[in-house]
Structure 1
Amino acid sequence: MDNPTPPPLAVRHLRKSFHGVRRVEDVTFTVGAGRVVGLLGPNGAGKTTSIRMLLGLVAADSGEALVLGKPYRALADPLRQIGAVLDAGGLHPGRTAREHLRIGAAQGRFAARRVDEVLETVGLAADAGRRIRDYSLGMRQRVAIATALLGEPRILVLDEPANGLDPAGIHWLKQYLRTFADGGGSVLLSSHMLSDVARIADDVVIIAGGRVRSALSLDEALASSGGDLEQYYLSLTGTDERAPHAAR
């Protein structure tokens, strides 16, 4: 019997403590091909820590986080397989967007043409010669997204990618991610913006207190909540006064 093809992303029973305080407790979910998965939860829920373990930036105490069936660090050419946006604040302020991307392309051994291609994709071609110090937060976020796209990956992991984007930027991002997934790509999207996630996600994973409270298709989540994703989220994260025991 042939081994089944592993999902693009698989997180199984992850646990992580910092200074004796448990931050992630038994987090499990998968991201399939052609799917956008919204990773939802309040501040401190464990979303970013889970993502950092998936990307090999933080070692798990136990459990596993796999990309195409392997730990991130075991991938032969990870930047061509998975692109990530974690923090747009780490960009060098004295460089232009084009300079930043040229350095990224050289480090990843990507074709030089990819610099102009991704600048066009994220809508920064006209501003590529400006210093990043003069960019708005939303523009810096677009540079971070462009960097993640340099290697033409089929998996994207984005932690609050809409942070700082104006309405036009949010509209572009939603359209791009939906098109990316419809073409067979896989997206893990951490966000606080429930309404935007509801417009593009195929599945939603809700985390609170370091635990997964729900991992369902969006249709299933809406069906179980009378079509109100916000109310469903609030009840599971323990922030709905009408459902104080839902997160126990």
Structure 2
Amino acid sequence: MSTLEPPPIEARGLRKNFRGRTCVDDVRFTVGPGRVAGLLGPNGAGKTTTIRMILGLAAPDSGDALIFGRRYHDLADPARTVGAVLDAGSLHPARTGRTHLRIAAARARVADSEVESVLDEVGMTDDADRRAREYSLGMRQRIALAAALLAKPAVLVLDEPANGLDPGGMHWLRQRLRTFAEAGGTVLLSSHLIADVQDIADDVVLIARGRVAAASSLQDALASSGGNLEDFYLHVTERAEVRA
């Protein structure tokens, strides 16, 4: 990427208040092409709110959330630029996985043939005609990720994508995201589980109390903590608590 080209994801001084409480405070980070970035922090740290601002689902009180230099709503074709997983539990319980994806494909102006392709990609072909009420959380996560992949986006934004996945599912997710990044794609995923981020990410953005407490490559974070991301996490979050 040329230094003149905007990064795939950039947060510039994001701030958001809810009912008089600051949930996100001057959040700044970038995610480059071919990188998987883990947005790591405790529950309630501001991760989901930050992701919602990036996806245009919440308006920042100040600052900008940009995708290739544009706000989400200003993208020429958002569905073909960004694929998102926010809440795997939101699948309609009476719809089958295949029906859910066909509706998503119609909204994104994607051919029905892509539905079968992504079902195979996420390992859900055999269960595609079961209703969502019969799915485990891990199966719902796979259908949600299939929907995010439908339009072959350049960027994936995933909120807690490992929830409900068994060890086999985690291995599959790591491999899928790594393949996506190696092909030039960009991934931002949130998690409150340190092992999820350490096993998948190239870069780490650690949020505590709504602020970025640390942002670095995973390699640098591990080097500064004797190879233990949990030690890095605890040190940085404890320091953020002291400063609060």
TM-score scaled by structure 1? 0.95
Q: Which moved more, 1:109-118 or 1:191-200?
A: 191-200
Letter in 2 for 1:32: G
The answer to whether the Cα contact below 8 Å between 1:155 and 1:187 also exists between their aligned partners in 2 is yes
Shift of 1:76: 1.1
State yes or no: 1:233 paired with 2:233: yes
The answer to whether the Cα contact below 8 Å between 1:85 and 1:159 also exists between their aligned partners in 2 is yes
Shift of 1:17: 0.3
2:73 matched residue in structure 1: 73
1:56 matched residue in structure 2: 56
Shift of 1:3: 7.8
1:24 matched residue in structure 2: 24
Shift of 1:166: 1.1
2:196 matched residue in structure 1: 196
Structure 1, unaligned runs of 5 or more: none
Output the CA distance in 1 between the equivalents of 2:208 and 2:12: 16
Shift of 1:192: 2.0
1:133 matched residue in structure 2: 133
Partner deviation per Cα, 1:150-192 (whole Å, 9 max, x = no partner): 1100100000001011111111001100111011000001012
Relative to 1, partners in 2 of residues 1:231 and 1:108: Cα closer, same or farther, differing over 3 Å? same
State yes or no: 1:42 paired with 2:42: yes
3-state DSSP class of the match of 2:45?
coil
Shift of 1:200: 2.1
Partner deviation per Cα, 1:16-53 (whole Å, 9 max, x = no partner): 00011110000000110000001000011000000000
Letter in 2 for 1:19: R
Relative to 1, partners in 2 of residues 1:193 and 1:244: Cα closer, same or farther, differing over 3 Å? closer
Q: Percentage identity across aligned positions?
A: 63
The answer to whether the Cα contact below 8 Å between 2:209 and 2:240 also exists between their aligned partners in 1 is no
Output the CA distance in 2 between the equivalents of 1:247 and 1:52: 26
3-state DSSP class of the match of 2:49?
helix
Cα RMSD over matched residues?
Answer: 1.4
TM-score scaled by structure 2? 0.96
Number of residue-to-residue matches in the alignment: 243
Letter in 2 for 1:39: L
Partner deviation per Cα, 1:99-133 (whole Å, 9 max, x = no partner): 11011111111011110000001100001011111
Structure 2, unaligned runs of 5 or more: none
Output the CA distance in 2 between the equivalents of 1:225 and 1:3: 31
